[in-house]
Structure 1
Amino acid sequence: MRRRLDLLAAGLLLAAVSTLHAAPLVQVVGLFPGAAVLKVDGQRKLVKVGQTGPGGVQVVSADSRGAVLRVDGVEQSYSLSREYGEGGYSAPTRQQLSIARGIGGHYWVAGSVDGHPVQFLVDTGATSVALNEGQARTLGLDFRVQGQPMQVSTASGTAKAWRVKLDRVKVGTLELLGVEAMVLEGDSPSEALLGMSFLNRVGWREDQGVLLLESKH
């Protein structure tokens, strides 16, 4: 009987040791000054420097180039979208982008239209990418000739607009071809809007103050 108890205790101790040494699968899926979006064993969270995230993983430092994480008491450098664990290095099959909520609760993201840099305001209430005519001219869009004239409803009333096709729209590593957009007469909207004509073609969701975009292919 005593031998059976000893064997049982040894088995429980071995299981405990195995559990303690099972390294969590850690992935950095978003980088910001002073914070990183961690994905630990499938659980995703925005963690600031000095704070501890899922699985007890602590963010030691973070910037746009990478993050230093403390995992099981060991500090290690991590770059974007790389997984580490017992299986070694593994890259995600889909392109991902994490956008932290900014001032006023809005999501801002740097991108480009046809190779020209654009600062987008993400707007899930906009049916398409939207630009004012000044922004369109800066991008070299001949919207009055090539666009389809129409009337659109805005918060301030009805406005004249032109429906156009943008050859390439890119935010982060996500790039789409042939994206529908609206160019509005005048100086509204004041910011370029990243609307549903882009967002509907990628996977997106909000999670704890972070907007997550992911390519569908």
Structure 2
Amino acid sequence: MVLRKFLSAVVIALSFSYLWAVDGLSIHVSGLFKNTAILTINGQQHTLKVGLTSPEGVKLISANSRRAVVEYNGKQHTLTMGSSGALGFDDPDVMVPITPPEEHKSLKLVREQDGMFRVRGTINNTQVHFLVDTGATIVAMNHTTAERIGIPFRAIGKPMKVETASGIEDAYRVVLRRVRIGDLELSNVEGSVIVGNQPSKVLLGNSFLGKFKVEQDGDHLTIGSRH
């Protein structure tokens, strides 16, 4: 019972939502873990360990954090996290994609007393403070911030020179694995690491902002998805 409540809490926090149809059964893949899957079958939630069978007759053959193999009516089906689809009724190995409706996401910021827009976010899952800079070409940070995030910029970055308020500084061009503010997230974002103390805040430039719709209305700035 404790395990069921814990896994259910994890599922709610991560908002997993993947729906499949298997030979007439509606299966909602709520969570996948090593040797365990949380499945809602025809509206009833079950936490199945490998080898166990639900009351509806769905047996869990194997499971990890990415996929589960289940057996029903003598047929095996692979259910995956990270995509949405339905297994064909005639051919159990054919996956027919389902395109979910896209959700509009946006973030509204208020100008601070110094005239700037700032926002908290993450780079590679590490929290940072961004200064929104629509005039900056890419996301830029100083080397101390990069080291805190764990970016090996000297090993993987491309050396270059940049001009700062302190003069010409050494810098490295890098690719940031993930950048996020609010509900807005991008992968593989171009960035730069400047050797020195500047910028004191991470500059959120157009390598991120350019992928979204940015609108300013007086002291308010809205960053949102384009659709």
TM-score (norm 1): 0.56
For 2:209 and 2:160, locate their aligned partners in 1 and report how far apart those are by CA, in whole Å: 23
Q: 2:165 aligns with which of 124, 137, 155?
A: 155
Q: Whose RCO is larger (CA < 8 A, sep 6+)? A: 1
For 1:189 and 1:134, locate their aligned partners in 2 and report how far apart those are by CA, in whole Å: 10
- Aligned-residue CA RMSD (Å): 1.6
Deviation at 1:92, TM superposition (A): 8.7
For 1:167 and 1:209, locate their aligned partners in 2 and report how far apart those are by CA, in whole Å: 31
1:41-80 Cα shifts (integer Å, max 9, x gaps): xxxxxxxxxxxxxxxxxxxxxxxxxxxxxxxxxxxxxxxx
Answer yes or no: is 1:130 the counterpart of 2:131: no
For structure 1, the 5+ residue unaligned runs are 1-90
Q: Would you tell me which structure has more helix in proportion to its own residues? A: 1
For 2:154 and 2:102, locate their aligned partners in 1 and report how far apart those are by CA, in whole Å: 42
For structure 2, the 5+ residue unaligned runs are 1-100
Q: Report the counterpart of residue 5 of structure 1 in structure 2.
A: none
For 2:103 and 2:164, locate their aligned partners in 1 and report how far apart those are by CA, in whole Å: 39
Q: How many residues align?
A: 127
Answer yes or no: is 1:141 the counterpart of 2:124: no
Answer yes or no: is 1:103 the counterpart of 2:135: no
Deviation at 1:159, TM superposition (A): 1.1
For 2:107 and 2:168, locate their aligned partners in 1 and report how far apart those are by CA, in whole Å: 34
For 1:154 and 1:106, locate their aligned partners in 2 and report how far apart those are by CA, in whole Å: 18
For 1:147 and 1:93, locate their aligned partners in 2 and report how far apart those are by CA, in whole Å: 35
Answer yes or no: is 1:204 the counterpart of 2:214: yes
Structure 1 stretches of 4+ moved >4 Å: none
For 1:126 and 1:211, locate their aligned partners in 2 and report how far apart those are by CA, in whole Å: 16
1:102-144 Cα shifts (integer Å, max 9, x gaps): 1201101010001111110111121111110000000000000
Q: What amino acid is the match of 1:212?
A: T
Partner SS for 1:118: strand
Answer yes or no: is 1:174 the counterpart of 2:177: no
User: In percent, how many aligned pairs have the same letter?
Assistant: 43
